[in-house]
Structures are given as structure tokens and as C-alpha cells.
Structure 1
């Protein structure tokens, strides 16, 4: 199914976890910082940014992470596979034309942006960016989806 998506965010929820998807809506270079080197990935306007919350939690941090990448072009950090801090990531980000969720990878250790760690209940879901939205395949029967709107402050009083 293709879900229309422009500036709003799409929330895909399981019973205990969620994914948040946003269209990039711009051409930019995304920097991916690993312990060994820096990668630079081109993000196209039709690409998507996906934030995964494998254990659920508040939606506001996920919105902030999506906007950090989409609006402010904050680089992504990738830890080495044996880093003890990887288990503490509550929210994970991936960006690109096609993103697949997996519960068999270690959080925050994959520089490949076609893959993001998820809960087992949302594992195997694939999101593919399109000009007018996002195509979702492999969505489990119990998952729900809805649009999320928010207002960012752009001026200080």
C-alpha cells in the first residue's frame, strides 16, 4: 500500500513499539560517522527518514530525531558492534529510498541505511519512498498507522 505523505509524519504502531516515517522533501548529503571513517550518503527528496522505537516510549523524541536529520542535517553516529552503549539506544534512525526493519541486528551499529533495528512485532516491515508518499509492505496485521502533525517553533519571542 502507498500512503500519501508530504510534510506530516506517519506513525506505525504495534502494541509495544513504533516506527515514525517522514519524507526527506529535499536533496542533501547525510553524513554517517563510524569509528573508522565518515560516509556521505545522498538523500533525495523522495527518500524517507525512519525512526524506530523498539521498546516504545514517547513520540516527541522520535519527532525530534526525524527533524534533526530532515531539517537540520545532523549526522548519524554508528557504534562498533561490540560497544556496550548500543543496548541503551531507545530510538534509532535510518534514511534512504528503502528501509527494512529487523529485530536481529544490534542497535546503532549498522552504517547501511537500508536497515533499522526494530521490535520483533514490526520486524520485516519495509518502507519505500515515493514522490507522493511511502509504500509499506510486510506490515503485521495488528499494526496501526496514523498521521502525526506537530508545530515547530521557528521564532523566539
Structure 2
């Protein structure tokens, strides 16, 4: 499915989890802070920011996280794989030209930006930018899509 979003945010809602997807407006270096190193990844206008809420929760904090990365270019923090705090992270984010959801990775511990932790109901989805919107496939049977206004349009 291809969805036109412009500068807005796409809200992919499952029955017990959701994703937010938005298009990056400008090039910037994304710093990723891991326990023993820091590295930077180039982000390009047209790439996507995906915020995943594997257990749902309020949308507003997820929108804030999306804008902290997309607009203010805040770095990402990656926890060690056995960190006890990963169980308490309600929202995770990935940035790149194409991102796949996975329920087999531990929240907040995966530095590779082509994957984002998700619930089982939204696992295996690939989101990528197309010329006129965002492509999402395959779509689970129980989902809804909603366009949320960007920060400037709220």
C-alpha cells in the first residue's frame, strides 16, 4: 500500500500497538550512542523516521520522540543487549530509507537502523519512501491508518 503523507505523520494502528512514520525534511548526521562507542549515520531528506510502540500507549510522547529526531536531530541511545531497562522502554525509533519491524529483537538494544522493535501483530512490515509517499507492506489484517498533522500544522 502506498500512502501520501506530505509533511504529516502516518499513524499505523494495530489492536494493541502502533507505528508512527514520517519523512525526514533535511540531511543531518544521526549520532548513535552505544555503551562503548559512538558512531554517526548520514540521514538524507526523504528518509523515514519510524517510532514503534510495541505495547501502544499515548501517541503524544511518540510524536515528541519522532520530532526530537526528525526536527531537532537528537542522538539515539542504544542499551547493551542484557540491560534491565530495555523492558521499560515504551517507544523505540529507527531512521533510514527503509525500515523493517521485528518482534524478535530486544527494545532499545539494536543499533542497526534498518530494523525497529515491534509487537508481534506489526512484525515483518517494511516501510520505505516512494516518490509520492510511503510504501507499507505487508499490512496486517487488523490495522488502521491515520494521517496526523505535523508539528507545524497542529
Tell me the TM-score normalised to structure 2 length. 0.95
Deviations 1:7-56 (A, max 9, x none): 10000000010000010011111111001111111111110000000000
Is the Cα–Cα contact under 8 Å of residues 46 and 132 in structure 1 kept in the other structure? no
Runs of 5+ in structure 1 lacking a partner?
Answer: none
SS in 1 for 2:62: helix
Distance in 2 of aligned mates of 1:97 and 1:82: 28
The 4+ residue runs of structure 1 with deviation greater than 3 A are: 150-153
Which position in structure 2 is the counterpart of 1:36? 36
State how far apart, in whole Å, the 2-side matches of 1:85 and 1:120 are: 20
Give the 5 Å matches for 1:1-157: 1-149=1-149, 151=151
Aligned-residue offset at 1:65: 0.4
Q: How many residues of Structure 1 are paired with residues of Structure 2 in the alignment?
A: 153
Cα separation, 2, equivalents of 1:151 and 1:96: 20
Consecutive unaligned residues of structure 2, counting only runs of 5 or more, are none
Counterpart contact for 1:19–1:50, Cα < 8 Å: yes
The whole-number CA distance in structure 2 between the counterparts of 1:132 and 1:63 is: 22
* C-alpha spacing 1:97/1:148, structure 2 compared with 1 (3 Å): same
Question: What TM-score comes out, normalization by structure 1 length?
Answer: 0.93
Partner SS, residue 12 of structure 2: strand
In proportion to residue count, which structure has more helix?
A: 2
Q: Please give the alpha-carbon distance, in whole angstroms, between the structure 2 residues aligned to 1:35 and 1:59.
A: 29
Question: RMSD in angstroms over aligned alpha carbons?
Answer: 1.3
